[in-house]
Amino acid sequence: MSKAGHEDDELGEVFLDESDIIHEVDVDEEDLPDADDDDAGITEEPDDSIHIFTGHTGELYAVACSPTDPVLVATGGSDDRGFLWKIGHADWASELQGHTDSVSSLAFSSDGQLLASGGFDGLVKIWDTSGNLKCTLEGPGGGIEWVRWHPKGHLILSGSEDCTVWLWNADNRRCLNVFSGHGASVTCGDFTPDGKTICTGSDDATLRIWNPRSVESIHVVRDSTFAVTGSKDGSVHIVNITTGKVVSSWPSQSSSTEGDPESIECVSFSPNFPWAVSGGMDGNLTIWDVQHSSPRFICNHEEGVTCLAWLGASKFLATGCCDGRIRLWNCLSGECVETLKGHEHAIQSVSVSSNLEFLVSVSIDGTARVFEIRDFH
């Protein structure tokens, strides 16, 4: 604080009289910057979203769109709460209460009848589409990393920080199996499309392939019909889950001169093309040609890529990024065809509505935003 400021504090309010005026300057009010003008030093980014959900009071981590209701959305976050809400229905929301730690994952059953929420409290809760709690599934000794439904029934699979994977029947609350073998947090996993095999990945740098009925670990793939995996060292692997063999391996796309490689945050197969995609903290989305084991395109972002989602079975892919923007890519040409703005901070998850008209994103800025994507099918 300046000496003058300190003296003013001691004297209380200071008043000026005419003898204190040194010089008068006439100012034209039209020359003054408006409070909303860019000239005032405040530049507001455009908001491309058509709907903003602000029911949460903390960072958001998870979002899921219903596979049967094109406007029904679930979100969860660090405020220990989840919400069901509807796009375009600002007066309808149902709070999912009961978790005692962050809601980290959400998934609708394939028939759209049930919603599973997983929390860092180690609980999986099953809800109906009105937000009524059907049951609470207990067992894991650590936070829930992810939840996935069987493609043809009400079986729910989840991975935990305590190195285990759990399988329940959500209709009768019965635990069917516990899969043990990983040596660290089970960070990702899912059923194969036919529901007959389970694949899980862990911080112990292994991919395990399980028989869901016998709890037998069929294969352990240590270097990372196919699964695509991404790892902290920036590498991507394609694995044949029938033989347990690594079919293709692609090292980090970051130059070795740039220091330690950046982690892969999200991977996926295209539903309709022979492509795999991976996004990472190096700011790259890589579109891989699976048949030729080579990158088709490397798509650059200003900051890290945290999540991605295919727009149905189309050639278009959405990426969510640390800069708060969503980018839509034509994976046939490698071009960014749209950049959607609105979030103020990193995007954590994105999901696409069943009618392919809306994309919903959640961010650590505490909001969920809805963007129109009907032009990209």
pLDDT digits (tens, 9 = 90+) for 298-346: 999 999 999 999 999 999 999 999 999 999 999 999 999 999 999 999 9
pLDDT digits (tens, 9 = 90+) for 98-134: 999 999 999 999 999 999 999 999 999 999 999 999 9
Cα 53 to Cα 56: distance, rounded to the nearest angstrom: 8
Q: What is the pLDDT of residue 329?
A: 97
Q: How far is CA 17 from CA 9, 25, 38, 276, in A?
A: 19, 17, 36, 75
Q: Is 319 in contact with 305 (CB distance < 8 Å)?
A: yes
356: phi > 0 → left, psi -120 to 50 → alpha, else beta; which? left
Q: Where are the alpha helices (DSSP H) in the chain?
A: 3-11
Amino acid type, 19: S
Size of the chain, expressed as the number of residues it contains: 377
Report the SS3 class of residue 232. Answer: coil
Report the SS3 class of residue 277. Answer: strand
- Residue 281 phi/psi, 5-degree rounding, is -75, -5
Q: What is the pLDDT of residue 205?
A: 80
As given in the structure block, the two tokens for residue 353 are 């509505």
Pick from 171, 130, 124, 168: nearest CA to 144: 124
Write the DSSP assignment of 18-30 as a string of letters: GGG--------GG
Amino acid type, 308: L
Q: Is 249 in contact with 263 (CB distance < 8 Å)?
A: no
Domains of the chain: 263-348 (2.40.10.480)
- Residue 94 phi/psi, 5-degree rounding, is -130, 120
Report the SS3 class of residue 259. Answer: coil
Q: Is 139 in contact with 118 (CB distance < 8 Å)?
A: no
Q: What pTM was estimated for this model as a whole?
A: 0.80
Cα 168 to Cα 150: distance, rounded to the nearest angstrom: 10
As given in the structure block, the two tokens for residue 236 are 């991507």
Write the DSSP assignment of 49-75 as a string of letters: -SEEE---SS-EEEEEE-SS-TTEEEE
Give me the residues paired with residue 198 across strands. 191, 210
Residue with tokens 């190096």: 282
Report the SS3 class of residue 169. Answer: strand
* Long-range contacts at 319-327 (CB < 8 A, ≥ 24 apart): 319/279, 319/285, 320/347, 320/348, 320/349, 320/350, 320/361, 321/346, 321/347, 322/281, 322/346, 322/347, 324/363, 324/365, 326/350, 326/359, 326/361, 326/371, 327/299, 327/301
Q: What is the pLDDT of residue 236?
A: 67
pLDDT digits (tens, 9 = 90+) for 49-91: 999 999 999 999 999 999 999 999 999 999 999 999 999 998 8
Amino acid type, 227: A
Q: How confident is the model at residue 12 (pLDDT cuts 50, 70, 90)?
A: very low
Cα 236 to Cα 239: distance, rounded to the nearest angstrom: 10
Quick one: what percent of the chain has pLDDT higher than 70? Answer: 77
Residue with tokens 């999901």: 351
pLDDT digits (tens, 9 = 90+) for 193-246: 889 889 998 888 888 888 888 777 777 766 545 666 666 666 666 666 666 666
Q: What is the pLDDT of residue 232?
A: 67
